[in-house]
Structure 1
Amino acid sequence: MGKPGETAPKGPGLKGDPLGNLVMTEIGIIAQLAGTLFESVLPDGMTQAQYGVLNHLLRMEAERTIGELASSFQVRQPTMSSTVRKLEDKGLVELKSDSRDRRIRRVAITKAGRAARQAGLDALGPLYAELMTHMSERELQAILPTLTKLRVILDERRPG
């Protein structure tokens, strides 16, 4: 694996590092590698951030304000505004006035947004199939509860 001249990857940290640092370093490396690979197969110039917003809206089964989305993704509101604007320009989301407070606008996924999310999922299929040639379904099923538990713990401790 790797390019010619590169050394073989070593562990996630330095000898003597605390276990927590090793785990968080490994997660960070995996996130970077997965994100880059993930984005390389998404259709129509869709970014990981855009796919993430579409996926989040569907997963939560609710409309969200830009502030709520920014909080969920732990990005600044102007960053989320830009992502939402790009999705809106593509017709993948729409901004709706809140029924209780007309000053509040909620981001809602459109039919085209649902289709784009599905197209992204379909584009990821070969990537997931390749992953399955290196790790069995049993291995992936075994690590999923631990990853979920870690996500919940980290989510409960997110800053402000």
Structure 2
Amino acid sequence: MDADRPSERSLGANADAGKVFAYFNEIGIIAQLSGALLARVLPDGVHPSHFFILNHLVRMGDGKTPLSIAAAMQVTKATMSHSLAVLEKRGFIETRPSATDARSKQVFLTQPGRAFQIEAVSAATLAFQRILGEGDRKIMAESLPGLAAIRKLLDEHRDATPG
């Protein structure tokens, strides 16, 4: 075998690596484009990152600590503190001392926060529906279970060290 030519095995691994990269690259681009569309339907001063915090609390439940929300959002504690301050100023959340740990706080959605999250989901859904055809919705429905499985896998390994 010629030493300068890659083996069939390495070619296969490179092809798989290319597919893996292409898959996550497409997801990244979709996230960027959908985030930009979401930003256009949110009121001034509310960023998609703020909406994602509200959405996380709706999905995972009230009473999360700022640190656990920061970990879920993959941001620093300082960034999360700023975002929570914005949401609290708007009346969308309230922070309360933890009942079990006096050093910690817990975050709770307010009724206006829940209403805002519902309104934002409705506005984003309407914006997406304007551009999606029936075939697009079918592709999304078929791909959703696979995307959810990949999200779960990545979430389970969020703190894993590459390599």
Q: Considering the TM-score relative to the shorter chain, is it more than 0.5?
A: yes
TM category (shorter chain) comes to: 0.7 to 0.9
| Distance in structure 2 (CA, Å) of the matches to 1:135 and 1:39 | 25
**Superposition TM-score, scaled by structure 1 size:** 0.83
Root mean square deviation, CA, Å: 1.9
| Distance in structure 1 (CA, Å) of the matches to 2:47 and 2:148 | 24
Contact 1:43–1:120 (Cα < 8 Å) also in 2: no
Give yes or no for the alignment of 1:127 onto 2:127. yes
What is the identity percentage for the equivalent residue pairs of Structure 1 and Structure 2?
Answer: 33
| Structure 1 stretches of at least 4 aligned residues deviating more than 4 Å after TM superposition | none
Match of 2:48 in 1: 48
Q: 1:101 is aligned with what amino acid?
A: D
Count matched residues: 146
Match of 1:113 in 2: 113
**Superposition TM-score, scaled by structure 2 size:** 0.82
Structure whose CA Rg is larger: 2
| Distance in structure 2 (CA, Å) of the matches to 1:33 and 1:129 | 15
Match of 1:102 in 2: 102
Query: Gapped runs of 5+ residues in structure 2?
Result: 1-14
Give yes or no for the alignment of 1:141 onto 2:141. yes
Query: Gapped runs of 5+ residues in structure 1?
Result: 1-15
| Distance in structure 2 (CA, Å) of the matches to 1:68 and 1:77 | 9
> Which deviates more from structure 2 when the two are superposed, residues 147-156 or residues 129-138?
129-138
User: Structure 1 residue 136: deviation in Å?
Assistant: 4.2
3-state secondary structure, aligned to 1:95? strand
> Which deviates more from structure 2 when the two are superposed, residues 101-110 or residues 78-87?
101-110
| Distance in structure 1 (CA, Å) of the matches to 2:37 and 2:63 | 29
Q: 2:138 is aligned with what amino acid?
A: R
Match of 2:4 in 1: none
Distance 1:41 1:134, change over 3 A: farther
Contact 2:62–2:109 (Cα < 8 Å) also in 1: no
Contact 1:43–1:119 (Cα < 8 Å) also in 2: no
User: Structure 1 residue 139: deviation in Å?
Assistant: 2.3
More helix by share: 2
